[in-house]
Structure 1
């Protein structure tokens, strides 16, 4: 029976009847009331009905009043927009019943339909998507932004994007249960009906919610990305959607200049990840990871998710790639690594990048500026004067740090500082030792040296060393005011404290103007025992009134 014959039989104008006839356009594409649909979104065998709608039909017009609504034929239509209740899927038609005989199939399942209407179901609070479908398929006007797309495209877009938005990239629309599909569709339709800005916000929400260990447009957008890969990339039907999606991907994911997505070309890189940044700036992956963590761009345990703006950080990465590690930087200056680290510690030569998880690095320009700031104060001579020493050896002789010598050289205080015309490294600069000592010399310390103590106490060297080590003579370590060598210095109070309780054999012999052996013999006969220090040490006695009556030690002078 043709459509015209059916129209005559039903006494309905053929034009009205043809509006709701699914016309096969070939290649599994159909036209329904001017809307393009594919088999994926047009139910051909499964029949979904709203029990409440059919029960109202029955009450108002009897059995013949029960009829199918055109929106029920859409696969995405899962909730009745009138009663806000879930659609009921009827059992498949069995031969000889035709799957397209809607009236008879409703009649066969009427008991089940009526029971479902009386029991009711879960009430949906959001039926904006279903309302839109009903208006669109019936030819009514809507003010949604997505009206520019054909209905089949909108259905695919809503279901694929909604699945990702509501359930994540691991789920597929085909895996959703009937109760999950309305929620997925509602989420996506709410985002896309107002325009590109709301759709962009939805895309960003998907990107931010991604838990993929290796983020990317494909892994973050799951089913939506896979659907976009399957559609036509060259025709006008999907052009606006693909242009917008590709631009979003280029601006938010690490696509480089020349990369293709959905037939669109990325012209300028907007986003870097560790891999793309390390390749572009020729840095090893672990080093690039440490740099990104040091810059506060992410955590090392989730380094594969680190992404950052190419425009903002490319200059930083380019500068870092030019920098030298301490060993190479020290070789560039002609100094030891330890000397370089000392200069950095006292802030004379600061690293360009100094992060806790990485070794500091130095930019060649900074090294050149530092080197020139020293060389410009070195007098250029044809021959190095006799007695001048290379700067680093000079520091060893003067017992000073390199930074102290460099500070004097840069201030112009080191008058003997010179170099040959061909010299371009700090190592090739020379100066006089006494000139450097003149600049470093400080005030002379108050106290007695070991040599002076030896002379005043009239004991040998090992005895002085032993007294200091056993704290019988309190000493402090200081640097010589000129040679800067470390030495022990005994204060006057320490000497007075020692002489108040001890007397040396040498002092008593000197005061008595006799030989020490003679004094020792008399003290031994008188019962005075020296301190048990050992044979190689000078004899020292506890100072008592009895000892002083026998031999007065005298005073130090």
Structure 2
């Protein structure tokens, strides 16, 4: 039962403090401080949302206590308040400022016979710091600073402009804008509605803090100080940040990766603070842990994924268990390698771009694999000895892709990496020979080494190995000796297989006609420009390529390399290339792409008239 007569009705949109201010005006015609003291409530206890003060107000006014608490931040600890089931920090609220919409107050003033102090209601959601726009009238809220001791009492009948011209002028002065999506999300969630599931799973204050911080960095730069932003700037930050966070973890991660990619690294080694600025520093302090929700974890993972950090490095409260990324310098130091040679090899293997910045990071395990290959690298000079064969046969193995250079198919590889081979590759070839040719004490009298068999069959030594690896040459054996030099084959069998099976042109002959290096020729094959006839193996997955002369002639008629310019146009390769450059003709395939410049015949005809 109300102790105050007559009963004064509580509005479901207003806060308890607003209701108390209107009670004072209705029952005493005076101000709130004296009224609260008269009914046994300490004014600042009411401002602070002390449970006892709210209970006493409910008692004297005859109003349901739960209804008052529903719209009022109730203090539950030091700088902590409970509002509609959410425990929120003090900074979540606009206090000590008083926020209001002058257009809403103008509507309140239209109440018949109502004095502004009796009818002006402070809406409960105006107390939220994130609420800066009136959702009903689409104008910015007015925010009054606390300018005297009682400045937090929400007495809008006295602190806001008087009805009529003064209030209308204030309405006209407020910028028009829609409510921000972040504000709408917060109010809706406090009203019990659902939003994006990923955001709903986080504490409400963490969502707001993270959205405004992320949005501020995106909108105003990594060096922004959120505390120095104006209300309008924070409103913009919230709009930008919420648009990103509403996309969930994937959207946030994409944004952070975009910030990393956009950063100009220069020659110095950048750290997380340099790249992400305030976004990182605001979350890295001991007092900040947990205050930005899932954004902290995502940023930490992005840092682990993008920076070459040592195992055991701690970032935003989490420890990196093992290194994920290396730079050339860190990998060379770890593996005890020459960084210059290692860099060339990493470029060749595609882990580091050719225009690599000093601190470019790449996958640590992939880098260690390359480093291990480099440690067992066999240079082209040493290749014949490692294989136990002649120089021509070693070159043929490389040219026909039975051995893969450490540089792979990268035409921009340089130095020793261009033709060097990992020991594992060599071991693989020798193992295949061992599997296909059993070891014997004495070979049959008519069996000969590879080179002799190739000479008798009028083919290349690598063709003999193709026949062996493809399961077509079945009676080969090995005698005591090193590598391929120990292999003995039946020359008659080789000759018969070459005649019956290896018809057409070899890759060496086809690429010779085109006047392109082997890597360029195979690039044309891999791209479907030059067709080959595939000879499947009798066992296993070994493939032999042979080329029809007409197909090679077709490609040769359409694509011209500078190496053919002398026979076709009577000019040297340098002169030919210079003519094409001056005519601004780009190659159909460039050296950077495939290892040789190739021009369309139509372009050369247009430039040279031939």
Q: TM-score, normalised by structure 1?
A: 0.55
| Structure-2 change in CA distance of 1:317 and 1:114 (3 Å) | farther
Contact 2:92–2:129, Cα closer than 8 Å, also in 1: yes
Correspondences of 1:302-451 after superposition (within 5 Å)? 303=357, 306-309=360-363, 315-325=369-379, 351-353=405-407, 355=410, 356-358=412-414, 359-360=417-418, 361-366=420-425
Tell me if 1:47 matches 2:98: yes
Aligned-residue offset at 1:100: 0.6
Among 96, 99, 116, the alignment partner of 2:151 is 99
How far, CA to CA, are the matches of 2:182 and 2:401 in structure 1? 66
Aligned-residue offset at 1:155: 1.8
How far, CA to CA, are the matches of 1:200 and 1:350 in structure 2? 39
The residue matched to 2:81 in structure 1 has which SS? strand
Contact 1:29–1:37, Cα closer than 8 Å, also in 2: yes
Q: Which residue of 2 aligns with 1:226?
A: 281
Correspondences of 1:141-220 after superposition (within 5 Å)? 141-145=193-197, 146-193=199-246, 198-210=248-260, 211-212=262-263, 213=265, 218-220=273-275
How far, CA to CA, are the matches of 2:284 and 2:367 in structure 1? 31
Contact 1:233–1:242, Cα closer than 8 Å, also in 2: no
| Structure-2 change in CA distance of 1:367 and 1:26 (3 Å) | same
Correspondences of 1:250-329 after superposition (within 5 Å)? 250=304, 254=308, 258-267=312-321, 271-274=325-328, 277-278=331-332, 281-297=335-351, 299-301=353-355, 303=357, 306-309=360-363, 315-325=369-379
Tell me if 1:77 matches 2:131: yes
The residue matched to 1:179 in structure 2 has which SS? helix
| Structure-2 change in CA distance of 1:177 and 1:44 (3 Å) | closer
Aligned-residue offset at 1:294: 3.4
Tell me if 1:29 matches 2:80: yes
Aligned-residue offset at 1:363: 1.6
Aligned-residue offset at 1:334: 11
Aligned-residue offset at 1:152: 2.0
How far, CA to CA, are the matches of 1:6 and 1:28 in structure 2? 22
How far, CA to CA, are the matches of 1:102 and 1:233 in structure 2? 32
How far, CA to CA, are the matches of 1:106 and 1:234 in structure 2? 42
How far, CA to CA, are the matches of 2:388 and 2:209 in structure 1? 68
How far, CA to CA, are the matches of 1:12 and 1:182 in structure 2? 35
Q: Which residue of 1 aligns with 2:534?
A: none
Compare CA radii of gyration and give the structure with the larger one.
1
Among 110, 113, 122, the alignment partner of 1:68 is 122
Contact 2:206–2:293, Cα closer than 8 Å, also in 1: no
Aligned-residue offset at 1:63: 0.8
| Structure-2 change in CA distance of 1:266 and 1:372 (3 Å) | closer
Where do 5+ consecutive residues of structure 2 fail to align? 1-40, 47-52, 442-458, 467-479, 486-610
| Structure-2 change in CA distance of 1:14 and 1:253 (3 Å) | same
Where do 5+ consecutive residues of structure 1 fail to align? 381-403, 412-420, 428-557
Aligned-residue offset at 1:330: 8.5
The residue matched to 1:102 in structure 2 has which SS? coil
* Cα displacement string for residues 186-237 of structure 1 (whole angstroms, at most 9, x for unaligned residues): 233234346xxx22222222212432215665554443333332367998x8
Correspondences of 1:436-515 after superposition (within 5 Å)? none
* Cα displacement string for residues 45-67 of structure 1 (whole angstroms, at most 9, x for unaligned residues): 22332222222222345513223
How far, CA to CA, are the matches of 1:291 and 1:180 in structure 2? 49
Q: Which residue of 1 aligns with 2:68?
A: 17
How far, CA to CA, are the matches of 1:120 and 1:79 in structure 2? 10
Aligned-residue offset at 1:166: 3.5
Once the two structures are overlaid, the 10-residue window that deviates more, 201-210 or 221-230, is 221-230
| Structure-2 change in CA distance of 1:84 and 1:35 (3 Å) | same
How far, CA to CA, are the matches of 1:251 and 1:229 in structure 2? 18
How far, CA to CA, are the matches of 1:28 and 1:327 in structure 2? 75
Once the two structures are overlaid, the 10-residue window that deviates more, 259-268 or 50-59, is 259-268
